[in-house]
Structure 1
Amino acid sequence: MLDIKVTKTETPKAKPAKDDPLLFGTIFTDHMFIMDYAEGKGWYDPRIVPYGDITLPPAATIFHYGQGVFEGLKAYNAVDGGVNLFRPDMNAKRSNRSSDRLCIPEIPEEDFVQAIEELVELDKDWIPNEPDHSLYIRPFIIGTDPFLGLRTSAYYKFIIILSPVGPYYPEGLDPVGIWIEDDYVRAVRGGIGEAKTGGNYAASILSQVKAHDEGYSQVLWLDGVYRKYIEEVGAMNIFFKIDGKVVTPMLNGSILPGITRDSVIQICKEWGYDVIEKRIDIAEIEEAWKNGTLEEVWGTGTAAVISPVGKLRMGDEIMQVQDGGIGELSQRLYDEVTGIQLGKVKDTRGWIVKID
Structure 2
Amino acid sequence: MDISTTLATDPASEERLAEILADPGFGNHFTDHMLTVEWTPDRGWHDARITPYGPLTLDPATAVLHYAQETFEGMKAYRHPDGSVWSFRPEQNAARMVRSSHRLALPVLDADDFVQLVDALVAVDQRWVPDASTGEKSLYLRPFMFASEAFLGVRPSQHVTFMVIASPAGAYFKGGVKPVSLWLSETYTRAGRGGMGAAKTGGNYASSLVAQQEATEHGCDQVVFLDAEHGRFIEELGGMNLYFVYADGRIATPETGTILEGITRASIIELAGRLGYQVEERRISIDEWRDGVASGEIVEIFACGTAAVITPVGELKWDGGSTPSAPAPAEGGVAARIREHLVGIQFGREADELGWMHRIV
- What is the TM-score normalised by the length of structure 2? 0.95
Alignment match, 1:242: 246
1:158 aligns with 2:162: yes
Instruction: Check the 8 A contact 1:308/1:330 in 2, yes or no.
Output: yes
Which residue identity does 2:23 align to in structure 1? P
1:282 aligns with 2:281: no
Give the drift of 1:198.
0.6
Instruction: Check the 8 A contact 1:83/1:354 in 2, yes or no.
Output: yes
Alignment match, 2:356: 351
Aligned length: 354
Give the drift of 1:271.
1.5
Which residue identity does 2:39 align to in structure 1? Y
Instruction: Check the 8 A contact 2:300/2:327 in 1, yes or no.
Output: no
1:90 aligns with 2:92: yes
Instruction: Check the 8 A contact 1:299/1:308 in 2, yes or no.
Output: yes
For residue 145 of structure 1, the aligned residue among 134, 142, 149 is: 149
Instruction: Determine the C-alpha separation between the residues in 1 that align with 2:66 and 2:172.
Output: 31
Instruction: Determine the C-alpha separation between the residues in 1 that align with 2:28 and 2:328.
Output: 31
1:213-292 alignment, distance < 5 Å: 213-243=217-247, 244-252=249-257, 254-292=258-296
Instruction: Determine the C-alpha separation between the residues in 2 that align with 1:354 and 1:187.
Output: 36
For residue 213 of structure 2, the aligned residue among 202, 206, 209 is: 209
Could you tell me the percent identity over the aligned residues? 42
1:318 aligns with 2:322: yes
Give the drift of 1:21.
3.0
Give the drift of 1:223.
0.5
For residue 81 of structure 1, the aligned residue among 83, 107, 132 is: 83
Which residue identity does 1:349 align to in structure 2? L
Alignment match, 1:10: 9
Instruction: Determine the C-alpha separation between the residues in 2 that align with 1:288 and 1:322.
Output: 9
Alignment match, 2:38: 36
> 5+ residue gaps in structure 2?
none
Give the drift of 1:324.
7.1
Q: Which secondary structure does the structure 1 equivalent of 2:86 belong to?
A: strand
1:127 aligns with 2:124: no
1:25 aligns with 2:24: no
Instruction: Determine the C-alpha separation between the residues in 2 that align with 1:258 and 1:18.
Output: 29
Which residue identity does 2:174 align to in structure 1? P
> 5+ residue gaps in structure 1?
none
- After superposition, the Cα gap between the structure-2 partners of 1:7 and 1:18, relative to the gap in structure 1 and judged at 3 Å, is closer
Instruction: Determine the C-alpha separation between the residues in 2 that align with 1:16 and 1:152.
Output: 44
Instruction: Check the 8 A contact 2:299/2:328 in 1, yes or no.
Output: no
Which residue identity does 2:11 align to in structure 1? P
Which residue identity does 1:143 align to in structure 2? A
Instruction: Determine the C-alpha separation between the residues in 2 that align with 1:215 and 1:79.
Output: 40
Cα offsets for 1:225-247 (capped at 9, x unmatched): 11110001111110000222100
312-321 or 336-345, which deviates more? 312-321
- What is the TM-score normalised by the length of structure 1? 0.97
1:99-118 alignment, distance < 5 Å: 99-118=101-120
Instruction: Check the 8 A contact 1:310/1:325 in 2, yes or no.
Output: no
Instruction: Check the 8 A contact 1:175/1:325 in 2, yes or no.
Output: no
1:335 aligns with 2:340: yes
312-321 or 226-235, which deviates more? 312-321
1:302 aligns with 2:300: no
Give the drift of 1:174.
0.9
Cα offsets for 1:50-98 (capped at 9, x unmatched): 1001111110110000000000000011122211100000000000100
Q: Which secondary structure does the structure 2 equivalent of 1:287 belong to?
A: helix
Give the drift of 1:323.
4.3
Instruction: Determine the C-alpha separation between the residues in 1 that align with 2:277 and 2:77.
Output: 29
Which residue identity does 2:112 align to in structure 1? E
Instruction: Determine the C-alpha separation between the residues in 2 that align with 1:53 and 1:208.
Output: 29
Instruction: Determine the C-alpha separation between the residues in 2 that align with 1:322 and 1:275.
Output: 18
